Structure 1
Amino acid sequence: MYEGNFPHQRYQKTLEFLRENTPAPSNILDLGVRNPFVEFMEKEGYTVSNTSGEDLDFNTEAVQKEGIQIVTAFEIFEHLVAPFNVLRDIKADKLVASIPLKLWFSPAYRSKTDPWDRHYHEFEDWQFDWLLEKAGWEIKARNKWTHPVKKIGLRPLLRLFTPRYYIVYAERIKNS
């Protein structure tokens, strides 16, 4: 069990959720290029490979590989125009995915410097649940948490009480 310092609260919450619902050792395909969180999963005992930066709206071959036990997608689906296609094409039987929730007091995220770092979707929890169900997944566990920021103002105050992240563990519905 990794007990080090986490650079983000969401890393700790995500690793706890992953540990509770899909204990190591497991073979994981993490959607997106290798990122700092992969190291935390590997220290926990997971074997992790990543997709290679391909546009998953057009090319879902990476999620169709055999031998993957779990697909993880941490803050990925909000960047896709068509997350249904990826979710439908995943061959693994288990999925752990997190998304930032839509906040009524804040517009969708759009980087001012990176044209690819944008949120096409920011879901409410029920919308993400429905998307997963339509793509052939059954949610077995879920959690939400806030994302406080160290700033002064109305929005930072609201972030203390309003959940920002939503994570689910889902299993493939047989015959879907």
Structure 2
Amino acid sequence: MYEKTYPSKRFKHTLKFLNKHINTTESILDLGVKNPLSKLMTSQGFNVTNTSGEDLDVDFSSVTTSKTEVVTAFEIFEHLLAPLNILKEIKSDKLVASIPLNLWFAPAYRSKTDKWDRHYHEFEDWQFDWLLEKAGWEIKDSAKWTNPINKIGIRPILRSFTPRYYIVYAERKK
């Protein structure tokens, strides 16, 4: 059997986790505009629709009107000021979401060129779990992985064994 190649380690782990919990026959609303990961999901047989770039802090129409069975959110919630609000509004019964974890040795991400591309939250795993539970979700599975970088220094060494990403599969509480 051959090993599939992906553009990044993050995509490899995300797709493996998604395949573990979601069937390709289930419809997916992916929060965020079409991107390399959502295109890869589609190429692997998933039925994916993306949101259209609306401000998900104030416009919940994409999740309140969606008839999809699953919502995915890969590295989206850290960009929102109030992720609790949209999490409560999701009508689908299944959620697969990932976030970058807070790294004690690195500041929160903030783009120098794009005023919208910044992290308002970099969660610890327990904080994200609590947020999901408060929004009415029950976590069924989770995973973490590292994101080593090919640079020299203390931070790159720490990145080789400190988890950077956290992903969960959750179902709406009945």
Q: Is the 8 A contact 2:29 2:66 kept in 1?
A: no
| Cα offsets for 1:60-82 (capped at 9, x unmatched) | 11011242110000000000000
After the TM superposition, which of the residue ranges 17-26 and 6-15 deviates more from structure 2?
Answer: 17-26
In the other structure, the counterpart of 2:166 is 166
In the other structure, the counterpart of 1:100 is 100
Q: What is the RMSD of the two structures over their aligned residues, measured on CA atoms?
A: 1.2
In the other structure, the counterpart of 2:12 is 12
Question: After the TM superposition, which parts of structure 1 deviate over 3 Å for at least 4 consecutive aligned residues?
Answer: none
Looking at structure 2, the residues matched to 3 and 29 of structure 1 have their Cα atoms a distance apart, in angstroms, of: 28
| SS at structure 2 position matched to 1:87 | helix
Q: How does 1:1-176 map to 2 (within 5 A)?
A: 4-174=4-174
| SS at structure 1 position matched to 2:108 | coil
Kindly state the Cα deviation for residue 3 of structure 1 after the two structures are TM-superposed: 5.7
| Cα offsets for 1:105-128 (capped at 9, x unmatched) | 001000111111000000000000
Kindly state the Cα deviation for residue 39 of structure 1 after the two structures are TM-superposed: 1.9
- TM-score, with length taken from structure 2: 0.97
Give the aligned length: 173
Gaps of 5+ in 2: none
Kindly state the Cα deviation for residue 44 of structure 1 after the two structures are TM-superposed: 2.1
Looking at structure 1, the residues matched to 38 and 5 of structure 2 have their Cα atoms a distance apart, in angstroms, of: 15
| SS at structure 1 position matched to 2:133 | helix
Gaps of 5+ in 1: none
Looking at structure 1, the residues matched to 47 and 72 of structure 2 have their Cα atoms a distance apart, in angstroms, of: 12
Looking at structure 2, the residues matched to 164 and 103 of structure 1 have their Cα atoms a distance apart, in angstroms, of: 7
Looking at structure 2, the residues matched to 68 and 120 of structure 1 have their Cα atoms a distance apart, in angstroms, of: 28
- TM-score, with length taken from structure 1: 0.96
After the TM superposition, which of the residue ranges 15-24 and 36-45 deviates more from structure 2?
Answer: 36-45
